[in-house]
Amino acid sequence: MSRDDPTHGAGIPKEGERACALVFAALAAIGAATFLIGVFGPEPQRAWQTYHINLLFWSGLAFGTVLFSAALNMSLAKWGRPVKRLAEAPGAFLPVAFVLFCLLYFGREAVFPWGREPVHGKEFWLNAEFVFLRDGLSFLVLTGLAVALIYYSVRGDLALASGAAEPRKPGAAPVDGKGSDVQIVVSTVYGILYSIVVSLLGYDLVMSLDPHWVSTLFGAYFFIGAFYCGLSAILILSAVAVKSMGMGGLVTGTQFHDVGKLLLAFCIVAGDFFYCQFFVIWYGNLPEETRYILLRLRMPPWNYISWTVLLTCFVIPFVILLSKRIKTKPVAMMALGIFILSGMWLERYLLVVPSIWPGSELPLGFVELFITAGFFGIVALCVLFFLKRFPLVPVSDPMYREYLETAGKS
């Protein structure tokens, strides 16, 4: 088997790989420097809250992309196998994200109001040691499951590449039956724990920033949003794979159209949850609940961000994704994915900053830009390392072989 085989993807060009690695490393260094200058400067809270937003955004995105791979395994879907490895690639960031989560403990007083002063009646639940212990263990368990899922996915491919496994027949990849069975089991557990853990992170790391506001729907809204981000990232990676990695023979308009349909579905679900939370709070008209909404919808500068989020995350993507033709175009879907991720970053920003920022001006400038660029650089380096280290497609996956036979590419 050769990675130059058009059914397996040509891989990342070495020249482009070096250039990208240098750019991503530079972004990571700039972000780290900006963060350290901010932490030891006059506005440490601004640096820590930006760090917090990006940790939530990028770790949620990575969990969401791995969930897509898990969903393919659980449903025995063939159509998405060519992009399965691309969906697993952001999972390489999750061990790094766990370390970054642990570092957040040092900024607890700058980010969490209950980190400075206990909340009456919630002292047991909202104290730094218990919050970071339960969230850290939950984060670690879900990360471990994601790593296990990816391990069993790439194991057969690495065996084939090293010559430890032999093809079933000339030109055919081996079937890793045991690995596939384990993947289905791990995927099921991952799918269940994903909803629990990401909901818990949403409650503890976002909703608790305004400890007097409570929404039982917030956890579901938070993990649906993370999966929405994951689908957008998969579209971007797929378009890059088609344009720069020689995967145009495998990742076709069919994959873009099907992932686009999923993106439309979760655009609707996320928008529905967004509306349901707003409607219940508006209808109940309870002071402890309406303050959270009024702060973001009526009071400048947050109201401008709210309308921007509504348009970029839900309204405009919904209209665009109604077009079948657009959903089959790699460049158009990559642009839409970037557009949605930009909006979802602002959505995470809107969930966090109004609850804790003491000033009246909008804290959105070079500090936020450079720290976000730093996080992007770290994630991109992890993805680049993963895609260079492992085959671009799951050649040992039985469902991948069936997809090739169905598509007439074997």
> What does pLDDT average to over the chain?
90
pLDDT tens-digit series, residues 216-275: 899 999 999 999 999 999 999 999 999 988 898 899 999 999 999 999 999 999 999 988
**What is the dihedral sign for C-alpha 73, 77, 82, 83?**
negative
pLDDT tens-digit series, residues 98-149: 999 999 999 999 999 998 888 888 888 999 999 999 999 999 999 999 999 9
Per-residue pLDDT, 218 = 93
**What is the dihedral sign for C-alpha 346, 86, 180, 409?**
positive
Residue 408: pLDDT band (50, 70, 90) is low
CA 363 to chain centre: 24
pLDDT tens-digit series, residues 356-400: 998 888 999 999 999 999 999 999 999 999 999 999 999 888 889
Per-residue pLDDT, 291 = 84
pLDDT at 80 over 90: yes
Per-residue pLDDT, 212 = 85
- Measured CA to CA in angstroms, residue 103 lies from 100, 369, 407 at distances of 5, 20, 47
- Given the structure tokens 């492992």, which residue do they identify? 390
Q: Residues 40, 45, 49, 51: what is their CA dihedral angle, to the nearest 10 degrees? A: 0
Please name which of 93, 63, 92, 71 lies closest in space to residue 187, comparing C-alpha atoms: 71
Q: Which residue has the higher pLDDT, 38 or 2?
A: 38
Please name which of 94, 104, 145 lies closest in space to residue 128, comparing C-alpha atoms: 104
pLDDT at 6 over 50: no
* Average confidence (pLDDT) over 39-53: 96
pLDDT at 9 over 80: no
Please name which of 83, 359, 88, 347 lies closest in space to residue 238, comparing C-alpha atoms: 83
pLDDT at 8 over 90: no
Residue 164: pLDDT band (50, 70, 90) is low
Residue 3: pLDDT band (50, 70, 90) is very low
Per-residue pLDDT, 249 = 87
Are the C-beta atoms of residues 302 and 354 closer than 8 Å to each other?
yes
* Average confidence (pLDDT) over 65-77: 96
